Amino acid sequence: MIRGLYTAATGMLAEQFVQDAIASNLANASTVGYRQDVPTFKSLHDLAVGRYGGPSNERGAPIGRMGLGSAFDRTVVDHTSGSFTPTKRMLDAALVGEGFFAVQTPQGERLTRAGAFELAPVGRDAYLVDTNGNKVLGLKGPILIPGGAEPVIDPEGRVSAAGKEIDTLKLVTSDHNTLKKAGGSLFVASSPVVAATPIVKQGVLEQSNVNTIQSMVRMITVQRAYDAAQRTITAQDEALGKAVNEVGRT
């Protein structure tokens, strides 16, 4: 009976992790380039169950195994691409297939799929930056647009302005298992490598890969599972109370 309380409690804790992940995904459903979180779980140790009987109450034939519930394991990131939205804005760019843009942050180089770029004036020139002011990196370093002209980005990532080629976007790839979220749509990787065949679309943005309808349905399902585990705990507690307070008096 007490084991049942713990098993139901582990289910409630597991569903709480799922609910938190879904809430975070929904909060970032409109964040450009966002990748949704997917929590994973592991089962707790199983117990071998056997039939007892006989004068000495010896264990007889095995019946099967009894699980002791589940526990949160880790959160993985779903790296499937989001939908592409044409914006016709020359400072917007999206990557088709694998790869990330590289940006320079105060904490070091970070990777992102969010290509909503802007120009940050520096005298007569301007740096190409992301929405947080992080400088977009090219193969030569931060990309500086002479005269603050409107840049043109070709499918191979070459950046030009006023008819002159300035630099090529630093487009990198990395093993998804080495990527860690660094806030918003930023990632940090232990060993990124330059992408071999990048494909860049100018005037297009990649949206988050969060499906809001599926996420809301999942949230309702998780809430119902949480409520069911809660009712199980209540029932187990009531049965335990009767065993302690009533059965002993009969």
Whether residue 213 is contained in a domain is answered as: no
Q: What is the Cα 138 distance to its own chain's centre?
A: 27
For residues 144 and 120, the answer to whether their CB atoms sit within 8 Å is no
Token pair for residue 148? 């603050």
Tell me the pLDDT tens digit for each residue of 138-156.
999 999 999 878 899 999 9
Q: Dihedral sign, CA of 83, 89, 95, 99?
A: negative
Is the domain of 53 the same as that of 121?
no
Is the domain of 64 the same as that of 93?
no
- What does each of the 250 residues of the chain score in pLDDT, given as a tens digit? 566 677 777 778 888 888 999 999 999 999 999 999 998 877 665 555 555 555 555 555 565 555 566 777 788 899 999 999 999 899 999 999 889 999 999 999 999 999 999 999 999 999 999 999 999 999 999 999 998 788 999 999 999 998 899 999 999 988 888 899 998 899 998 888 887 777 999 999 999 999 999 999 999 998 898 888 888 878 877 777 777 777 656 5
For residues 194 and 171, the answer to whether their CB atoms sit within 8 Å is yes
Whether residue 31 is contained in a domain is answered as: yes
Query: Which residues are CB-neighbours of 211 under 8 A, at least 6 positions away?
Result: none
Is the domain of 90 the same as that of 194?
yes
Is the domain of 34 the same as that of 136?
no
For residues 238 and 127, the answer to whether their CB atoms sit within 8 Å is no
* pTM greater than 0.85 (yes/no): no
Give the per-residue pLDDT at 64: 59
User: From residue 172, how far is each of 47, 53, 56, 81, 101 by CA, in Å?
Assistant: 47, 66, 69, 16, 7
Whether residue 224 is contained in a domain is answered as: no
Domains held by the chain: number: 2
Is the domain of 115 the same as that of 14?
no
Residue range(s) defining the domain that contains residue 31:
2-78+231-249
Whether residue 211 is contained in a domain is answered as: no
Of 19, 14, 16, give the one whose Cα is nearest residue 73.
14
Whether residue 138 is contained in a domain is answered as: yes
Whether residue 7 is contained in a domain is answered as: yes
For residues 150 and 161, the answer to whether their CB atoms sit within 8 Å is yes
Whether residue 143 is contained in a domain is answered as: yes
Is the domain of 88 the same as that of 186?
yes
Between helix 212-245 and helix 2-27 the angle, nearest 10°, is 160
Is the domain of 21 the same as that of 40?
yes
Token pair for residue 72? 């949160």
Is the domain of 101 the same as that of 195?
yes
Give the per-residue pLDDT at 95: 94
Query: Which residues are CB-neighbours of 171 under 8 A, at least 6 positions away?
Result: 95, 99, 100, 101, 102, 157, 194, 195, 198, 200
In single-letter form, the type of residue at position 242 comes to: K
Tell me the pLDDT tens digit for each residue of 43-68.
665 555 555 555 555 555 565 555 56
H-state helical runs in the chain: 2-27, 212-245
Whether residue 98 is contained in a domain is answered as: yes
